[in-house]
Structure 1
Amino acid sequence: MAQIKVFYEPEAELLSVFWQSPRKNQIGTELGDGIILFKDGVSGEPIGVEVLSYRPGDARLDAVSVELGQSSQMQPAN
């Protein structure tokens, strides 16, 4: 089972979500609207996101959906 780690720092208004361990060589790319995507610096695989100026109830997270599972179980669209 996948573990997701969520860190919230209210004083800094910072929300971090990692589905893999943070890395020393990670690379952050701003996606816009104060959302940063973290990737492994070697493989380029996404490992987490950070939301700047976050407060509980933030509308930027209304459209987030998370699906966990193996890609081999997914059916192709017709």
Structure 2
Amino acid sequence: MAQVKVFYEPETELLTVFWQPPRKDQISTELGDGVILIKDSTTGEPIGVEILSYHPGDNRFDTVSVELGQLSPVQ
């Protein structure tokens, strides 16, 4: 089962979400609108995301969709 870790720092208005463990050598890429993609520096695989200037009710999450479960193979 996948674990998602969410960290919110109200003093700095920073929301960080990891769906894989943080890496010592992770890299970040700004996607725009204060959204930062966190990736493994070796594989380039996305492992998390940061939202700058986040506050509860932030409308940048209106377009986020989370689906849990197993994918069926495409035939």
TM-score, length of structure 2 as denominator length: 0.92
Give every structure 1 segment of 4 or more consecutive aligned residues whose post-TM-superposition deviation is greater than 6 Å. none
Q: Secondary structure in 1 aligned to 2:60?
A: helix
Deviation of the 1:36 alpha carbon: 0.2
Q: How does 1:66-77 map to 2 (within 5 A)?
A: 66-71=66-71, 73=72, 75=74
Q: Which runs of 5+ in 1 are unaligned?
A: none
- CA 1:43/1:70 → structure 2, altered by over 3 Å: closer, same or farther? farther
Taking the aligned partners of 2:14 and 2:46, their CA distance within structure 1 comes to 19
Deviation of the 1:26 alpha carbon: 0.6
- CA 1:33/1:74 → structure 2, altered by over 3 Å: closer, same or farther? farther
Q: Which runs of 5+ in 2 are unaligned?
A: none
Q: How does 1:27-66 map to 2 (within 5 A)?
A: 27-66=27-66
Q: Secondary structure in 1 aligned to 2:50?
A: strand
Q: Please give the root-mean-square deviation of Cα atoms over the aligned residues, in Å.
A: 1.4
Taking the aligned partners of 1:2 and 1:18, their CA distance within structure 2 comes to 11
Q: Secondary structure in 2 aligned to 1:42?
A: coil
Taking the aligned partners of 1:12 and 1:41, their CA distance within structure 2 comes to 25
User: What count of residue pairs does the alignment treat as equivalent?
Assistant: 75
Is residue 18 of structure 2 the alignment partner of residue 18 of structure 1?
Answer: yes
